[in-house]
Structure formats: structure tokens, C-alpha cells
Amino acid sequence: MYISARSDYALRAMLAVAAGGDGGTTRPDGAGELVKAASLARTQGIPLSFLQGILLDLRRAGLLHSHRGTEGGYALTRPASQISVGDVLRAVAGSLTTVRGLPAEDAGYHGVAAGLRDVWLAVDGAIAVVVDRTTLTDLLIHQEQAPAR
């Protein structure tokens, strides 16, 4: 598994939205704070133009709501405890594991290398177990419990 900058930025942005950003405005439905893309870019050190494409992918995947206007911003579509790291990774990268740029399940071998497909599928499955059972809430709780540096 290769963690691209895009995947890393997407997770950091989702965690910042889940944590409420840095003093965003309350959502129109009263269910938490909206976090502006510019604020996410600044606090997470992500180029804004790159972040905007990531936020669009996260919105298309149904993980974020966007609200327009001067008081607009982004909010999670469901509680952070119901959004896994795997959900975010798949939204921005597609497959968790790729072999020569293809999803692991599409890897094909013959002859002496025929067993490699099973190895790649096992690797993909092991990664899926970890990222699918780890939620945004788990990461936020871990951050709160970490000793100060």
C-alpha cells in the first residue's frame, strides 16, 4: 500500500472537519460547525487548490456536505464514529492496494508467479481490516490522549 499525499491530505482534512476546525460557523441545521476550505488548507498545511479537488471527491463520495456562501463551509455527513479511514482512502484513491497501478483483484499471473495474486489479495484484505475498523473518532480520541510534546 502506498499512501499518497492526496490520501494523507484527505484524512487530515476529514479529521480537522470532525474536530470542528478552528472556530467555524454553526451549520444551518444546528448540527455542528462548518469548516472553510481556506481554514483547512491553512491549519493543515495543504495547498488550497489541491485541497479543493480532494474536498470535491469527499463530497461526491457522500462523506462531506458543503454549504455555499460567506458563512458556508464543510461538515461531515454522518458522525465521525461512522466514518472509517478506509472510507476516506477509497473516496480519494479508489483501491486500497494496487499492483502495477491496477486494483489487487485485477492482478493476473501465470506459471511460477501464479501464487502472487493470492499474496496481493491477502495484503489488501489485511490492510482493509485495519483501515475499516479505524474511525475518525478513534484517531481523534488517540490525539486527545497523546502526551503533549
Q: Kindly list the distances between the CA atom of residue 33 and the CA atoms of 13, 17, 142, in Å, as whole numbers in the listed order.
A: 14, 8, 21
Contact 43, 83 (CB under 8 A): no
Q: What is the mean pLDDT of residues 123-148?
A: 86
d(CA 22, CA 133): 27
Contact 7, 19 (CB under 8 A): no
Name, in order, each residue with C-beta under 8 angstroms of 116's C-beta and a sequence gap of 6 or more. 107, 109
Tell me what pLDDT residue 88 has.
98
pTM for this predicted structure:
0.84
Binned at pLDDT 50, 70 and 90, residue 23 comes out as very low
Tell me what pLDDT residue 30 has.
40
Q: Kindly list the distances between the CA atom of residue 96 and the CA atoms of 2, 83, 128, 133, in Å, as whole numbers in the listed order.
A: 8, 16, 7, 14
pLDDT of 46 over the 70 cut: yes
Q: Which one has a higher pLDDT value, 32 or 68?
A: 68
Task: Let me know the angle formed at the C-alpha of 136 by 30 and 50, rounded to the nearest 5 degrees.
Answer: 85
Task: Identify residue 49 by its one-letter amino acid code.
Answer: S
- For 82-123, the pLDDT digits (tens) are 999 999 999 999 889 888 888 888 888 999 999 999 999 999
